[in-house]
Amino acid sequence: MRKDQKLLLFASLASLAIWMVPFLRPFLLPLIYFNTHVHEICHALTAFATGGSADSIQVFANGSGVTWTRGGSGLLISSAGYVGSAIFGGLMIANSRNEKVARRTLWIVFGVLLTLSILLLRGDLVGVISGILWIATVGALAKFAKKEWVVFSTQFLGASLALQSMQAFLTLMNLSVDSNAQTDAQNLADATYIPAPIWATGWLALSIVILVFSLRTAWRPAVKSNPLGTLGSGK
């Protein structure tokens, strides 16, 4: 087993253990905040990408959040939170196979968090502080973490995002049974008349596909290109 494969396996198991092992639960809340910030940022980015705008992002002490948007595609904006977090995490996993790529990935995450937080993060003090702390943490990892730690950190955060998105889907399924609960799935149910549990189930299935694909991509050995001079030409 290659070193990067061992790191990927360890990062995935560590992310899963935080969810499953009771005495590790204190480490879960900061990761929930990270997931919520990414979730809301995905709503905002999709609003901009579909011709709308985002007024503000709020993240609350209980780990929930809200993004206030205007215009754009309501279907894509509502779907973007959960699916976007899974894609975000999957891209972090897939782009973490060596130190150079993982460090670049962390810098991109740092830039996205910093820019969108400055532009949109408002309101709840806990949400603002957690956003600042995560920006500082990701920036410090990108700048100072050495070799294997850069790879592990990128994979761990990516796996945490993907796993938390899947856990959030299960919570969403329970909430979606109550048609009075205001969720992303219920927003789409109101707009399309397709029941909220169906939307939540579809998002969960897509999230699983994204996670499996990203893990397979990170697990496979890197493809090395041959110099043109080594290709047979009879000379």
Domain assignment of residue 233, yes or no: no
What are 140-199's pLDDT values in tens digits? 999 999 988 999 999 999 988 888 777 666 666 665 555 566 677 777 777 787 887 787
pLDDT of residue 12: 81
What value does the mean pLDDT of the chain take? 84
Alpha-carbon separation of residue 146 from 3, 21, 143, 195 (angstroms): 15, 28, 9, 48
Going by pLDDT thresholds of 50, 70 and 90, the confidence category of residue 235 is very low
Q: Tokens 């991509």 — which residue? A: 217
pLDDT tens digit sequence for 19-30: 777 777 778 889
Per the domain annotation, does 160 fall within a domain? yes
Q: Which domain holds residue 172?
A: 3-12+32-220
Say how far residue 200 (Cα) sits from the centre of its chain: 17
Q: Is residue 235 part of a domain?
A: no
Quick check: 224 pLDDT over 60? no
161 within some domain:
yes
37 inside domain? yes
Residue 27 falls inside a structural domain: no
Cβ within 8 Å of residue 199, ≥6 positions away = 79, 176, 184, 185, 188, 189
Kindly tell me if the per-residue pLDDT of 69 is higher than 90: yes
In a domain, 81, yes or no: yes
Question: Which pLDDT does position 169 carry in this prediction?
Answer: 62
pLDDT band at 225 (very low <50, low <70, confident <90, very high): very low
230 assigned to some structural domain? no
When divided into structural domains, the chain yields a total of 1
Which residues does residue 67 pair with via DSSP β-bridges, in sequence order?
57
pLDDT of residue 227: 43
